[in-house]
């Protein structure tokens, strides 16, 4: 069973500034066990390392992009897994499960030896839900509740948001787009059930086989 805990720290700076400088994990004495530390709504959020089934889905998406590259040498997208995304417009620091980015932009970030990617450099983010963090990844049930990673992506004008929801009550894949930077919302563009082939439209333009995807076990 997942349990949420609130811990109070005395920090040398605001969480976002420490996160940007790469100092937040050390400041809160985060163990080197694969846990992710993010800043959402100005709050520090620590998530455990993803489980095998979660990682298999991320790998399948990356494989689909590799297949698309082989089939079409002009395919422009590459993926980066679990990389820091500095959401400057909202002062949040997130680590999406996958970032989809233009090949030339990826090479530029690599040449500059940057740890973080900026929202204007990103074509899409992919989040795969887990029992401990699904609320931050999904659309809010109440319109007034917008302080999530998803709303931060929209407010930062990330063009597309691909949500893989592993909840056994509602497993499926949804592509969101048309971000409203004022409201912090996306429009749902397409939905698929687990087992169907996800056919992402242009400009992404690749397919993902979800036949082996399964929800989490409660």
pLDDT, one tens digit per residue, over 175-213 is 999 999 999 999 999 999 999 999 999 999 999 999 999
Contact 213, 60 (CB under 8 A): yes
| pLDDT at residue 1, as a whole number | 43
Question: What are the pLDDT digits (tens) for 161-177?
Answer: 999 999 998 899 999 99
Cα–Cα distances (Å) from 41 to 16, 24, 45, 122, 132, in that order, read: 10, 15, 10, 21, 17
Query: In the predicted model, what is the mean pLDDT of residues 15-43?
Result: 93
Residue 90: HSE in the Cβ half-sphere, 13 Å Cα cutoff: 28
Rg value, the chain, Cα: 17
pLDDT beyond 70 at 7 = no
Q: Is 63 helix (H, G, I), strand (E, B) or coil?
A: helix
Lowest mean pLDDT among 27-36, 149-158, 160-169: 27-36
Angle at alpha carbon of residue 173, lines to 210 and 118, rounded to 5°: 110
Catalogue all structural domains in the chain, each as residue range(s) with its CATH number: 50-209 (3.90.1570.10)
């Amino acid at each position: 069973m997942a349990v949420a805990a609130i811990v109070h720290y005395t920090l040398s700076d605001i969480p976002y500034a420490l996160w940007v400088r790469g100092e937040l994990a050390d400041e809160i004495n985060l163990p080197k066990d694969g846990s992710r530390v993010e800043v959402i709504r100005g709050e520090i959020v620590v998530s455990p390392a993803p489980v095998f089934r979660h990682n298999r889905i991320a790998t399948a998406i990356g494989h689909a992009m590799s297949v698309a590259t082989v089939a079409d040498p002009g395919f422009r997208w590459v993926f980066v897994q679990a990389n820091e995304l500095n959401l400057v417009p909202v002062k949040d620091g997130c680590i999406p499960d996958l970032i989809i980015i233009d090949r030339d932009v990826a090479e530029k970030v690599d040449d500059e030896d940057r740890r973080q990617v900026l929202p204007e450099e990103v074509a899409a983010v992919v989040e795969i839900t887990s029992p401990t963090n699904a609320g931050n990844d999904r659309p809010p049930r109440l319109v007034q509740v917008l302080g999530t990673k998803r709303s931060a992506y929209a407010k930062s004008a990330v063009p597309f948001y691909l949500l893989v929801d592993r909840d056994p009550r509602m497993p499926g894949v949804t592509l969101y787009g048309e971000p409203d930077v004022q409201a912090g919302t996306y429009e749902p563009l397409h939905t698929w059930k687990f087992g169907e082939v996800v056919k992402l439209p242009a400009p992404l333009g690749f397919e993902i086989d979800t036949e082996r995807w399964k929800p989490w076990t409660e």
